[in-house]
Amino acid sequence: MTSSIHTDEMNILCQWLKQQRKIQKLTMRELASRMAKPHSYVQKVEQGERRLDVVEYVWYCDALSIDPHTGIHLVIDALQSN
């Protein structure tokens, strides 16, 4: 099994998170501020340079006020289509 950071599934999840931020018209800095993280944290997640563990993912979704189940379903759908 490969590292999850460089998979299609992780790319889909990161792009979804980025899309959700943009829909809300939030900058990376604004989102990072909500999470009490440096803006580079959001940048690295969105560029696929940093992997989120499950708890971090839920915190990220909470900061965006989005349902983490939606992202999980995107990953599951991507796995099933392979």
- Per-residue pLDDT, averaged over 36-49, amounts to 95
| Range 33-40 average pLDDT | 97
Structure-model confidence comparison of residues 48 and 18, the more confident one = 18
3-state DSSP of 5-65 = HHCHHHHHHHHHHHHHHHHCCCCHHHHHHHCCCCHHHHHHHHCCCCCCCHHHHHHHHHHHC
Mean pLDDT of the chain: 93
Q: What is the pLDDT of residue 3?
A: 61
- pLDDT, average across residues 19-46: 97
pLDDT (0 to 100) of residue 39? 95
pLDDT at 69 over 70: yes
